[in-house]
Amino acid sequence: MKKQLFHWKRIGCLLIMIAMVCTFTACGQADASGDNVNTAGNSTGANIVNIGVTNTLNSLNPLLMDGGEVNKYATGLMFLPLCELTEDMSFEGLLADSITTEDNLTFTVHIDEAATWSDGQPVTAEDVAYTALRIASPVVGNTAMMYYVFEGVGEDGFVEAGAETVAGICAVDEKTVQFTTKNPMSLVTFQNSYARYLMPLPKHIISQYSEDELKTAEWFQRPDVVSGPYMVTEYDADHYISYTANEQYWKGTPKIEKLNIRIVDSSQLYAGLQSGEIDITHHTMSTIPQEDYESIEALENIDVVYGMPVINQSVFIQTQTVTDVRVRQAMLCAINREQILEQLLGGQGEIVDGYLSSASPYYDTSVTPTSYDPERAKELLAEAGWDGSQTLRFYVNSGDSTFVNAASVIVAQWAAVGIKAEIQTVDFATLMSVAGTNEYDILAVQYTYPPVDPYADLAWLMSGEGSWTGYGEESVVTALNSTQTEMNADKLKELYSIVTKKVQEDVPMISAYIISPQGAVNKRLVGAKPSVYGFFNHVHEWEITQ
């Protein structure tokens, strides 16, 4: 069997949690976009909703998608993906009304007959196929979308220069597209890793640009032809995105006239929710500091919604530099994870070994998390001949204040057993840049592994040299490949259990803790609810009580 795992490249294709320090606009004053900010209890205020996030934005161009949360959702407000997960982790068609397969090789996507662009033209299969062609262009150069899995696309993820079609992605009729993969793929993986991230563009608009122009065309900053509920009016990648309602939205004109995504520091979310400057936060785009949980719960204008335990504070170990498994095992044994969970997160979460939390149907309850045992850590280091002279480079997201504190605790606990590590706190963009170079020994990031389909992320993270861990093991590769053709739920659980047990044994990553994140929403909003998945699926139905 071909090892199709070895090229998975999407960074956080399943919802990486990120945060970055940004400037927060004073309550009640105009922000840089010129839109007035709402204040709490102002029932006569403008028809505006402010979404507070702590993620930074890389691009609003669907051709440049990298899997980051804020990029995906901010872009999806304009260009609907083919489908999206719902709050209960089922799949809901957004632009498509059906996605099917009979052989796990050919996937048939039917575009909703009612789907139209805001200029009145229908959304067609040609729009989908043309967008996919441009995503796979070596000139556009998107290395994150992993299109190498489709027929007609090279192992580097690109078609031949100048190609006018993709053999494995073709329009069958006006509303039907077929995707053909080189190797078997489960329907769930196709939906989760491809259909959720393919946001078709209007061919009749973007075909006027050369492939090179598509990377920088100003049209993507304020596109005037969209398929989604909102259109961008102002955009500052570090601070905000402002939208106005698409009055021609084919699912119904949005009830909220204007939306603002406001990028702020996590420490400012409480003040924004209290004042009304922020109306709603999202579990995986808005990192609310643990120390603010109780204060937000006490706000009279706010409803709090806790999410399922899906956000894994992952500590990736580069096995190409920390080569001895006994050293990695010692690193795990030396961390008192229960103490960190209780003291820094107030117990709002859980401790696991491996990637999967109790929210996943594939979670193995028989795997007992490794206990804190500093004496065992010292024994392992002695067996490995560790002399303590090496200093490990530990990169941490500066925007995640909780884990910055946790990292200090972890480094102190490692030092107590003879492991020296130096923390490098960097912003998220720098962290991802470092991750791409592998110039680190340890790298920590909040990572959401979709409980319903962890395959794509695990395939990438366990894909050997070039991945964030550099770890690849034959039994893991075989088990993950087998999930793509196995339909029996119990057998799938057994396959993922193999992966969990090998991760516990070989420690290419440490799950520091799993977070049950807090979300918050102003009581003036109706139909809007923080949820890990499905947050924007029906945003056009949100409304403000007067």
Show the DSSP H helices in 1-123 as ranges: 69-76
Enumerate the H helices of 394-464 as residue ranges.
401-417, 428-437, 455-461
Q: What is the mean pLDDT of residues 446-468?
A: 87
In 3-state terms, what secondary structure has residue 306?
strand
Is residue 40 pLDDT above 50, yes or no? no
Least confident of 45-59, 236-250, 381-395, 480-494: 45-59
Domains of the chain: 17-78+228-307+518-546 (3.40.190.10), 79-214 (3.90.76.10), 311-515 (3.10.105.10)
> What is the maximal distance between C-alpha atoms in the chain?
71
Cα distance between residue 267 and residue 278, in whole Å: 13
What is the CB neighbour count within 10 angstroms for residue 294? 11
Average pLDDT of the residues of the chain: 89
pLDDT per residue over 362-374, tens digit each?
Answer: 999 999 999 999 9
* Predicted TM-score (pTM) of this structure: 0.79
Q: What percent of the chain has pLDDT over 90?
A: 73
Structure-block tokens of residue 24 = 């927060």
Pair 326, 379: CB distance under 8 Å = no
Backbone angles phi, psi at 487, to 5 degrees: -105, -20
pLDDT tier at 24, thresholds 50, 70, 90: very low
Q: What CA–CA distance (Å, rounded) separates 72 from 61?
A: 10
Q: What is the pLDDT of residues 248-299, one digit of tens each?
A: 999 999 999 999 999 999 899 999 999 999 999 998 889 888 889 999 999 9
The predicted model gives 290-318 an average pLDDT of 93
Phi–psi pair at 99, nearest 5 degrees: -140, 120
Cα–Cα distance measured from residue 539 to residue 254, given in angstroms and rounded to the nearest whole number = 7
- Rounded to an integer, the average pLDDT of 401-414 is 95
The token duo for 274 is: 């209290």
pLDDT > 80? residue 28: no
- Structure-token match 């909102």, residue found: 230
Q: What percent of the chain has pLDDT over 70?
A: 91
- Give me the mean pLDDT over the 498-519 stretch: 95
Cα–Cα distance measured from residue 125 to residue 95, given in angstroms and rounded to the nearest whole number: 11
Distances in whole angstroms, Cα of residue 452 to Cα of each of 47, 160, 455, 517: 36, 34, 9, 18
Q: Assign 89 to helix, strand or coil.
A: coil
Quick one: pLDDT band at residue 195, thresholds 50, 70, 90?
very high
3-state secondary structure 115-154: CECCCCCECCHHHHHHHHHHHCCCCCCCCCCCHHHECCCC
Residue 30 pLDDT greater than 60, yes or no: no
Q: Quick one: tokens of 387?
A: 């002399």
d(CA 178, CA 195): 12
Q: d(Cα 124, Cα 5) in Å, to the nearest integer?
A: 32
Question: Which residue from 351, 316, 325, 323 is spatially nearest to 505, judged by alpha carbons?
Answer: 325
Distance CA 286, CA 313 (A): 15
Looking up tokens 């009830």 gives 255
Q: What is the DSSP string of 340-353?
A: HHHHHHTT-EE--S
Of 82-86, 139-143, 151-155, 316-320, the range with the lowest mean pLDDT is 139-143
Give yes or no for residue 78 having a pLDDT over 90.
Answer: yes
The strand ranges marked E within 218-326 are 230-236, 240-245, 258-263, 280-281, 302-306, 311-317
Residue type, 509: M
Residues contacting residue 137 through CB under 8 Å, at least 6 positions apart = 158, 159, 163, 211, 214
pLDDT at 465: 82
Strand order, beta sheet including 518-522: 230-236, 240-245, 258-263, 48-53, 280-281, 518-522, 302-306
Sorting pLDDT into bands at 50, 70 and 90, what band is 546?
Answer: low
Q: 450: pLDDT confidence band, cut at 50, 70 and 90? A: confident
What pLDDT is attached to residue 26?
Answer: 29
Angle CA(498)–CA(193)–CA(225) in degrees, nearest 5?
Answer: 170
Contact criterion met (CB below 8 Å) for 482 and 243: no
Ramachandran angles phi, psi of 451, nearest 5°: -55, -35
